[in-house]
Amino acid sequence: MKQISHLSHYFFRKDKKQILSFGMIILITALILHLALVLALRIDPAYDRLSDELHSADIDMVIPQMTDSPALSDAVRRHPSVEQFEQQRAILQKAVMKDFRGTDFELNILFYNWDDPRAIHRLSCRRRSKEAVQNPIYLPLYIAEFGEYAPGETITFSIGGKDFSYTVAGVVQEMQYGNASAELMGVFLPDAQYRQLAQALESGEVVNYAVRTGEGADRQTVLTDLRKTAEEKQAPVLFAMTRESRKQSRMMVTNLLTVILAAFAVIVLLVSIFLCRFRIKTTVAEEMAQMGVLKSLGFTSGGIIAAEVLPYTAAALLFSVLGVALSYGLLPTLVNVLALQAGFRFDVAYSPAALILTVALLTVVTLVFTWLSAGRIRRLLPIAAIRGVTDGRGMKKNRFPLAKTPGSVHFTLMLKQMAVSARQNVLLFVVLFVMTILIAFSGSLFYNGIIRPDHLMNTLSDESPDVILQVSSSDIVGMKRAIGSLDGAEKVLSYAIRQVQVGDENAVAFVCEDFSQTQNDGCYEGQNPVSGREIAIGSALAERLGCGVGDTAVVTYGDTSRSYRIVGLVQSVNNRGEICELTDQGFAALSGGKETHSLYVYLKNSADADGFIEKAKTACGGEIVSAVNAAKKQREAQSLYMGIITVVIAVIFAVTALIVLLILFVIIRSMMTQCRQEFGIYKAIGYSGRQLVAQTAGSLMPVTVAAALSSALLGLVWLPAVNHAIFGMVGAMKNHMEQPVGILLLFAAAEIAVTLLISVLLARPIKKIEAYSLIKE
């Protein structure tokens, strides 16, 4: 045992720097893997725990207050799966929040009475204004943090053309709603402000049935039952959501990030496996004579293998623990970013399971692969090893003969050096290939998120014109003509968003005069409705109703129900696929044609949307109830996505560069050890240090170029599948992402350039070695 320990120490000292490089890669792997595991193992339970702490409802169902009745509440109470429920009064309004992260943001807002007692959906006040404020309001964490409203600051809601301003008195943690993608949020007004608002608006008073179900109840089924009950009692359900749909909306980004981190960790783990295999095999080749001597002295193969494997396994153990420790340093930042999007605070907690899984996985994988790689030692005959089976002895073919290969001698020598290094070529190819997968992914993100941000936005958002005008006039055609004739208008579409029921399911209906004129076609199967008898439905509805293209769906709006033929399936990330599309005629048959629509205005120059709104107000006067600069809102959302994408691309490039640096360090160090004498001979012949550096770095380039280009081009095949899978997870069955070959090649070229630069820098020590000292060695 002592001898093995001595021998192991020798192997460690000899390969110290390479083992440290390997350790660094393990550290990166551990860091990423542990982050992914903590998110996977801790955030979900933390979310559920917080929901339980705040006694959140399993089902929320909003109905108009005037339709609420003791009969309905009795019926809800009697439902066998309902354990507890509470009626929470509120004022529901479509409101524009002014200066929400620098823009105007329209959302369905439920104004609750802060002073009403709550047994369900309790609120936990996280931050309060230090001083008493005039006209106070309490905001949920999501609106306060994402919208950038701090305690003491003012928030203004524009409702039906009137502005209502409040001062943020506190920020509350609630688990009642999702985030902006759920299209419904709640805010909380003290009793006096609540009453004032109710008086000022004279409409919109609603009751939220917050329901807690018993253990094991199928919440979706219970919701369907309750919705039927409400309809039977003449109470139309305005909004409804389950704990699951709320969670999906809040956790979408977290879940996506967890998957991406886990995939990233697997890729880096693959790299580290190949690296340790390469080093072990190289060490066996370098130390063959010594191993022969050790065997002749009586060391067993197992003993030598154990000594060889031990430093790598110990490094894996040590650096994976360090990686885990480092990940705890990064977790608070990561969690803050996620909290901003998810609207709930997650306390970073120690996760023994994540720690053990990370460390055990990396250590065991290292142990297994190094052990297998060192297997050649068993087959080594002592005398053959002592005699020194050099690399040259194994040479069978003289590749790239200097006399016949076209090109300069330096180029040919570079090719020869590459041709005799099969093991390093395999390692380099695998590393560059898998890292280019990440680079290609970031290239795709760059193109679709930064060069053509509309691709990403159209995938994740609904129809987005430049200006949305809410008009009071019943002469929508005349208004459309008037707005369309204004300077700067490209086209104007009549558009409305209404809450309907499809079958038994609540859904958002997008109503448009002509879907072929819209900019963001969300139809992923079949087609958009054209006639008044056609409908397209969202993926979630299709799944729940068990129907598809060619079937019939019954749509209910108010008291009227009508059948429509399903002609297509459409997506909506914001509404989790709970949508449908109807034509103007189709919806008029339901509504009686009395409802006013919005006008979606598409401008020739979207940057001047504010100027256009002024023009429209001047031209149409009081007939415009509200005007939203949707282009600005879209740009704000785009800039947010662009910021995230830039960070993701930068992180991918930085991690790739770091991993390539570490791998090249190991490869070039191994090459310098193995070819030390060779470099001396070259120098004696008259090759300069600069030439040898270029030759060494250049010998890595053919494999680098082949791996990067082939992986980047293969991206054309797999990136659509990856994008489909990723966006499919959030309900975008059809994405607008494109993979332009030029961008993929450009990113691959950047990777190649970075690899070349790193190779040259790492090979520079060759210059400092003198020919004479090399030959002496």
Partner 1 sequence: MKNSENKNHILLSVRHLNKSFRSGDAEQTIINDLDLDIRQGDFTVIMGSSGAGKSTLLYALSGMDKPTSGSITFCGEDITSYSADKLAVFRRKHCGFVFQQIYLLDKMSLMDNALTAGLLVGGKKKETVRRAAALFEKVNLPEVTWKKFPSQISGGEAQRAGIVRAVINRPEVLFADEPTGALNSHNSDAVLDVFTELSRDGQSIIMVTHDKKSALRGNRVIYLRDGRIFGECDLGEYTPDNAARTDKLNAFLTEMNW
How distant, in Å, are the alpha carbons of 7, 322, 370, 662 from that of 311? 10, 16, 10, 17
Which residue from 302, 401, 593, 643 is in contact with partner 1, where contact means CB under 8 A?
Answer: 401
If one asks whether residue 40 binds partner 1 (CB under 8 A), the answer comes out as no
DSSP 648: H
If one asks whether residue 525 binds partner 1 (CB under 8 A), the answer comes out as no
Which residue from 689, 698, 715, 731 is in contact with partner 1, where contact means CB under 8 A?
Answer: 689
Which residue from 451, 681, 725, 757 is in contact with partner 1, where contact means CB under 8 A?
Answer: 681
If one asks whether residue 13 binds partner 1 (CB under 8 A), the answer comes out as no
Cα–Cα nearest to 432, from 33, 28, 705: 705
Amino acid letter at 375?
A: G
Stretch of 192-200, 214-222, 405-413, 528-536 lying at the interface with partner 1 (CB under 8 A)? 405-413
Q: Burial of 576 by CB count in 10 Å (0-12 exposed, 13-18 middle, 19+ buried)?
A: buried
If one asks whether residue 415 binds partner 1 (CB under 8 A), the answer comes out as no
* Residues near partner 1 (CB under 8 A), total: 34
Which residues are bridge partners to 603 per DSSP?
A: 489
Which residue from 356, 364, 409, 725 is in contact with partner 1, where contact means CB under 8 A?
Answer: 409
If one asks whether residue 297 binds partner 1 (CB under 8 A), the answer comes out as no
If one asks whether residue 393 binds partner 1 (CB under 8 A), the answer comes out as yes
Least Cβ distance, residue 414 to partner 1 (angstroms)? 12
Least Cβ distance, residue 699 to partner 1 (angstroms)? 12
631's tokens: 């282009």
Q: How many CA atoms lie within 13 A of 567 on its CB side?
A: 16
Least Cβ distance, residue 766 to partner 1 (angstroms)? 11
Which residue from 403, 422, 717, 721 is in contact with partner 1, where contact means CB under 8 A?
Answer: 403
If one asks whether residue 288 binds partner 1 (CB under 8 A), the answer comes out as no
Which residue from 319, 510, 682, 747 is in contact with partner 1, where contact means CB under 8 A?
Answer: 682
If one asks whether residue 693 binds partner 1 (CB under 8 A), the answer comes out as no
Contact between residue 259 and residue 730 where contact means Cβ atoms under 8 Å apart: no
If one asks whether residue 244 binds partner 1 (CB under 8 A), the answer comes out as no
Stretch of 164-172, 287-295, 409-417, 478-486 lying at the interface with partner 1 (CB under 8 A)? 409-417
Question: Is the CB of 246 or the CB of 281 nearer to partner 1?
Answer: 281
Tell me which residue has tokens 């200066």. 99
Cα–Cα distance, 379 to 252 (Å, whole number): 53
Least Cβ distance, residue 280 to partner 1 (angstroms)? 22
Residue 559's contacts (CB-CB under 8 Å, 6 or more residues apart) are none
If one asks whether residue 771 binds partner 1 (CB under 8 A), the answer comes out as yes
If one asks whether residue 687 binds partner 1 (CB under 8 A), the answer comes out as yes
Cα–Cα distance, 90 to 205 (Å, whole number): 6
Residues 418-447 interacting with partner 1 (rule: CB under 8 A): 420
Question: Is the CB of 651 or the CB of 681 nearer to partner 1?
Answer: 681
How distant, in Å, are the alpha carbons of 167, 426, 428 from that of 705? 59, 13, 10
Residues 651-680 interacting with partner 1 (rule: CB under 8 A): 677-678, 680
Cα–Cα distance, 619 to 613 (Å, whole number): 10
If one asks whether residue 684 binds partner 1 (CB under 8 A), the answer comes out as yes
If one asks whether residue 384 binds partner 1 (CB under 8 A), the answer comes out as no
Cα–Cα distance, 552 to 747 (Å, whole number): 48
- CB crowding 251-279: b at 16 or more within 10 Å, else e: bbbbbebbbbbbbbbebbbbbbbbbbbbb
Cα–Cα distance, 496 to 631 (Å, whole number): 18
SS3 (DSSP) at 696: helix
If one asks whether residue 770 binds partner 1 (CB under 8 A), the answer comes out as yes
Least Cβ distance, residue 16 to partner 1 (angstroms)? 23
**Footprint of partner 1 on this chain (CB under 8 A)?**
390-393, 395, 398, 401-403, 408-409, 413, 416, 420, 677-678, 680-691, 767, 770-773, 775
